[in-house]
Amino acid sequence: EAGVAQSPRYKIIEKRQSVAFWCNPISGHATLYWYQQILGQGPKLLIQFQNNGVVDDSQLPKDRFSAERLKGVDSTLKIQPAKLEDSAVYLCASSLAGSIDSPLHFGNGTRLTVT
Partner 1 sequence: SQKIEQNSEALNIQEGKTATLTCNYTNYSPAYLQWYRQDPGRGPVFLLLIRENEKEKRKERLKVTFDTTLKQSLFHITASQPADSATYLCALSGGSYIPTFGRGTSLIVHP
* Binding stretches for partner 1 (CB under 8 A): 4, 33, 35, 40-45, 48, 55-56, 91, 93, 98-101, 103-109
Closest CA to 71 of 45, 97, 32: 32
Give 63 or 101: the residue with its C-beta nearer to partner 1.
101
Q: Which is nearer to partner 1, 15 or 44 (CB)?
A: 44
Residues 6 or more apart whose Cβ sits within 8 Å of residue 79: 18, 19, 20, 64, 65, 86, 112
Name the minimum Å distance from CB 37 to partner 1: 9
- Count Cβ atoms below 10 Å from residue 38 Cβ, excluding itself: 13
- Which is closer to partner 1, CB of 21 or CB of 107? 107
